[in-house]
Structure 1
Amino acid sequence: MVEKEGFAALVLRLRAEGISDLDLLTAVEQTPRSLFVPTAAAADAYSARTTPIECGAFMEGADLAVRILHHLQVKPGQRVLEIGTGSGFTGAVLGRLAERVLSVDRYKTLVTGAQRRMDKLSLRNIVIRQADGINGMPGEGTFDRILVTGAFTSMPRFYAEQLVSGGAMIAPLMREDGTCMMMRLTKTGSRFDREDLFPVPYLPLVPHIAAAL
């Protein structure tokens, strides 16, 4: 019941923002957020608040998570790379929209937890891996969409070769004033067209996989 009410309230807030993409909202509805948040936060699963999860990581509020996916514009048949698995919620929604999702995180604890949730939801087209994604995943071919949930301190131009022509990447970029802006980079030939979207509360990306967690 909490799940249904939480989702209905989220849809109303998103519609007020102009987000009414039926495929996306259906994918969100089929991915119960209470499965991804810590038990103590289940009542707030659909709120706009940021939720702390294991390994010092956090889960975006429901509104921000869906807003980012809305701007990513994933289509059926596409391959998606996600840098920063976290709880696995965004990856699970992506898995319902795309052909194949590769999601990586530096923390083994988060990778294991997210994999368990994918298995529970019978999502078989999502590969979750512990890896240092700061330079993307060279050697994995090209992707139609790339989503990064840790902030870069400079434009990540090296990702260009991991995107198909016409592909798009959404990533946060730290600005000189210390704020963080979500941007969409669309690949045209060998260059990126940049569009600033909205401020986000992300922290800078950390290199290397985590040793202990």
Structure 2
Amino acid sequence: MIEQPEDREGFAAFLLRLRGRGIVPKNLIAAFEATPRRNFIPGHFHSLAWSDRMLPIECGEAMEGADLQAAVIAALNIEQGNRVLEIGTGSGYTAAVMARLAGRVFTIDRFKTLVENARQRIESIGINNVIVRQFDGAEGMHSEGPFDRIVIWSAFKELPRGFVDQLSMNGIMIAPIGPDEGEQTLAKLTKIGSRFEREDIGVVRFQPVARHLAAII
């Protein structure tokens, strides 16, 4: 849903960057185009909506750049009917995009404010297959599993083996793995039997996974 001229220009530049990186799935591009990105970011950052830079959102958190979001969702290879778990709702944008590809998306965050705002934004654009909850996702969401796809927007110090039981056979999880400070490796983990097959797909710099719900916000 690209309406403003600056959005059209930004989206065109975004597509050129994706094609340069070999990310061209038609269904993914259509899902991004159909999801009004400016609805999910503060007004004074609208001109940067389709940039590759992180943008501040509520609760002192940040929204990942469009290129990284696209690369992660492409790596998930979401198929129709898939059940997806997202840990780290943030603005709600990636949940909205994934909802156009999947059967159902569960997205969770430790901040009540982020959860409530994301729910409103997602509902306002007519998407009804996303469940948004305030939840401590450090150990996943056993009560709703198994999932076909899991994406985590915060870093683990080591391979999160506790998630293997929450993935369906041949399910895919994307998670950053590495130290709290500095860069982490973005890993694509595919469930094979009772173990993960790992493929490293990039380098990122995320906050470490936080435990427990936020007390106030």
Normalised-by-shorter TM-score class: over 0.9
Structure 1: distance between partners of 2:93 and 2:169: 28
Runs of 4+ in 1 over 6 A off after TM superposition: none
Any idea what the Cα deviations from partners look like across 1:78-101, whole Å, max 9, x if unmatched? 000000000001000000000000
Map residues 117-128 of structure 1 onto 2, 5 A cutoff.
Answer: 117-128=121-132
Q: Does 1:207 align with 2:206?
A: no
Tell me by how many angstroms 1:178 deviates: 3.6
Q: Does 1:185 align with 2:189?
A: yes
Q: Does 1:170 align with 2:174?
A: yes
Any idea what the Cα deviations from partners look like across 1:127-185, whole Å, max 9, x if unmatched? 00000000000111200000000101111001000000100100001149842111011
Structure 2: distance between partners of 1:196 and 1:123: 32
Q: 2:150 touches 2:173 (CA, 8 Å); kept in 1?
A: yes
Q: What SS class does the counterpart of residue 139 from structure 1 fall into?
A: helix
Question: What residue ranges of structure 2 are gaps of 5+ in the alignment?
Answer: none
Q: 1:151 touches 1:174 (CA, 8 Å); kept in 2?
A: yes
Question: What residue ranges of structure 1 are gaps of 5+ in the alignment?
Answer: none
Aligned length: 213
Amino acid at match of 1:109: T
Q: Does 1:20 align with 2:24?
A: yes
What percent identity do the matched residue pairs reach?
Answer: 47
Amino acid at match of 1:206: A
**CA-based RMSD:** 1.1
Structure 1: distance between partners of 2:195 and 2:180: 23
Match of 2:37 among 18, 33, 39: 33
Q: Does 1:100 align with 2:104?
A: yes
Map residues 132-147 of structure 1 onto 2, 5 A cutoff.
Answer: 132-147=136-151
TM-score by length of 2: 0.96
Match of 2:159 among 152, 155, 158: 155
Matched residue, 1:110: 114
Matched residue, 2:80: 76
Q: Does 1:44 align with 2:48?
A: yes
Matched residue, 1:55: 59
Structure 1: distance between partners of 2:213 and 2:205: 22
Amino acid at match of 1:80: V
Structure 2: distance between partners of 1:115 and 1:86: 11
Q: Say if 1:177 and 1:88 are closer, same or farther in 2 by CA, change over 3 A.
A: closer
Q: What SS class does the counterpart of residue 144 from structure 2 fall into?
A: coil
Match of 1:91 among 87, 90, 95: 95
Amino acid at match of 2:52: A
Amino acid at match of 1:116: Q
